[in-house]
Amino acid sequence: MVWYNHGKGLILDPNLSPVGEGPLLLLSDRVVPGLMKTSYSINIDTDVDYDDISVSGIVATSYVEPGNASSLELAGKGTVVDTGNDRAEFDATDLVYTAIGNGANDTFDQIVITREQDAGITEANTMLIAHATVSSTTTNGGNITLVWNAEGILQITA
């Protein structure tokens, strides 16, 4: 997992948020993964919000990308301090996209983790937090489950 530089800044200074809201992963905010095409080329310096990269999101029936009030958000969000490994871990329940595809289909091999601000959900105020490469998956109308690592989705280490 790679952290976007602006996402790192949000951890230290929540005022970097375009609407000045709370800490990075405030439990009341929507944390939404985005499924990205192979053509997305990550730039951790210049990619700040989903509006910077939305042309690389997949297009598939029943899939709604971040920056939209009906996008699929993480549930069961929580943070654990792991003193044995000198880190903090953010985790959530595995996420299931139901019947994705089955009409328009697309392939993704990257995901981004975003935080949607409470003050009106748009691509321009959906902040990029982290990026990961995953196994190439083509939608086909079936369910797709994002199974998060047992050690958490995101980790901050010493």
Distance, C-alpha 56 to centroid of its chain: 14
Check residue 94 and report its DSSP letter.
-
pTM equals 0.85
Among all chains, which residue has been given the structure tokens 């998956």?
137
The pLDDT value recorded for residue 89 is 84
Pairing of the two strands 126-138 and 154-157: unpaired
Residue ranges covered by each domain of the chain: 2-157
Give the model's pLDDT for residue 91: 87
Q: What is the pLDDT of residues 50-64, one digit of tens each?
A: 999 878 899 999 999
Rounded Cα gap, residues 152 and 90, in angstroms: 5
* CB-based contacts of 4, cutoff 8 Å, min separation 6: 44, 47, 48, 128, 129, 130, 131
7 near 24, Cβ under 8 Å? yes
- The string of pLDDT tens digits covering residues 132-149 is 999 999 999 999 999 999
